[in-house]
C-alpha cells in the first residue's frame, strides 16, 4: 500500500473497500501528489523551495511566475511609443501621448469621420471634374446682365 497524506487517508477511509495503493498511484499520475521531495524542486525564478502541490509547478508563488515571464519578454524598441503629445487629426482635442507613433486618430469614431470626409471630398472632386465646366457656363449665363434692346 502506498503512502498517503493524512487528508487523502481520511478520504480513502470514507470510501470503504477502496484499494489505497491504486488511489495513491492515481493521485501521483494526476499530479495531485508530488512524488519528489520539495528540496529537489527549486523555483525557476528565485530558487526558493516550491511548496507542495502539482508536480509540474515551476514557480513558488504567482508573483515569481509573473516576474519570470516579464524578465523573459523582449524589451521594447526605442521609439516604439510616442512620447510627445500630438492632437487627433480629426477632432484636434485629445492628446495621443503614449500611443503608437503612426496613430492618427483618438478613437474609432474619429477614424470613421475622417474616412467619410475623404470619400466625400473624392466624390465632390469627381463631380466637379465632370460637371464643373457646365456649371461654370450656366452660372455665367445667369449672372450676365441682359443686353438692352436698341430702339
Structural domain contains residue 150: no
Measure Cα distances from 23 to 56, 81, 148 in Å: 20, 55, 117
Residue 127 has pLDDT above 70, yes or no: yes
Residue 85 and residue 54 in one domain? no
Measure Cα distances from 109 to 16, 86, 98, 114, 118 in Å: 67, 18, 20, 9, 14
Output the pTM of the full model: 0.36
- Tell me if 23 sits within 8 A of 5, measured CB to CB: no
Domain count for the chain: 2
87: phi then psi, degrees, rounded to nearest 5: -80, 160
Residue 97 and residue 47 in one domain? no
Domain that holds residue 11: 6-61
Structural domain contains residue 137: yes
What pLDDT digit, counting tens, does each position of 27-50 carry?
Answer: 666 666 555 554 567 888 898 888
DSSP 25-44: HHHHHHTSS-SS-GGG-B-T
Of the listed ranges 9-13, 33-37, 72-76, the one predicted with least confidence: 33-37
What pLDDT digit, counting tens, does each position of 85-99 carry?
Answer: 888 888 888 777 777
Structural domain contains residue 72: no
- Tell me if 23 sits within 8 A of 33, measured CB to CB: no
Residue 85 and residue 136 in one domain? yes
Round the average pLDDT of the chain to a whole number and report it. 77
Structural domain contains residue 71: no
User: Where residue 1 falls among pLDDT bands split at 50, 70, 90?
Assistant: very low
79 backbone φψ class: left, alpha, beta (φ>0; ψ -120 to 50)? left
Q: Residue range 64-80: average pLDDT? A: 78
Amino acid at each position: 500500500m502506498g503512502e498517503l497524506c493524512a487528508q487523502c487517508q481520511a478520504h480513502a477511509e470514507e470510501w470503504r473497500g477502496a484499494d489505497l495503493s491504486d488511489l495513491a498511484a492515481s493521485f501521483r499520475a494526476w499530479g495531485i501528489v508530488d512524488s519528489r521531495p520539495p528540496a529537489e524542486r527549486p523555483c525557476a525564478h528565485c530558487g526558493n523551495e516550491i511548496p507542495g502541490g502539482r508536480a509540474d509547478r515551476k514557480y513558488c508563488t504567482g508573483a515569481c511566475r509573473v516576474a519570470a515571464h516579464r524578465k523573459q519578454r523582449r524589451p521594447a524598441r526605442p521609439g516604439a511609443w510616442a512620447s510627445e503629445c500630438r492632437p487627433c487629426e480629426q477632432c484636434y482635442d485629445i492628446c495621443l501621448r503614449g500611443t503608437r507613433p503612426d496613430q492618427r486618430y483618438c478613437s474609432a469614431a474619429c477614424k470613421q469621420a475622417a474616412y467619410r470626409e475623404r470619400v466625400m471630398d473624392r466624390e465632390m472632386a469627381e463631380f466637379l471634374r465632370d460637371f464643373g465646366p457646365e456649371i461654370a457656363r450656366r452660372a455665367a449665363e445667369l449672372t450676365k446682365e441682359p443686353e438692352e434692346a436698341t430702339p
